[in-house]
Amino acid sequence: MLFVLIVLLIWSVRLCLSTYWDAKNGRLERNYQIGIKTRWTIASDETWEYIHRKYAFVFLGSGVLVALMPVDVAVGMIATRDINTMSMIWWWMLLALAVILIAWLVICGIIANLDARNHYLESQA
């Protein structure tokens, strides 16, 4: 079961990094599935592109944090010498990484939303 978790986390890393490259290079089109979606970025293609180019690092940081998660699981499996379980310390470390990831996304999301609002209102004036 832990192998499935590792595969899903690696897939998530790939998704974060490909989103980073698309956002950084201006290839991330406005959509409702992936990206920094606020009422301001959804309202304007120009604001969408501006915010995603400027805040592409959010996806890179998320990818790095998520990349640490399968490493934690793999090391936990090796340390426990069991492919089906991990000792509690490794689960706590995984939880800590998840909390850091959520805090990263919330803080960056709030800042990006304020920036998107300012950019949108300035472009409409």
- Could you tell me the pLDDT band of residue 125, with boundaries at 50, 70 and 90? confident
pLDDT at 85 over 90: no
The reported pLDDT for the residue numbered 70 is 97
pLDDT at 67 over 90: yes
d(CA 16, CA 58): 9
The reported pLDDT for the residue numbered 37 is 95
Listed residue (102, 17, 3, 1) closest to 67, CA to CA: 17
The reported pLDDT for the residue numbered 10 is 98
Listed residue (90, 88, 97) closest to 76, CA to CA: 90
Q: What is the pLDDT of residues 7-53, one digit of tens each?
A: 999 999 999 999 999 999 999 999 999 999 999 999 999 999 999 99
d(CA 115, CA 125): 16
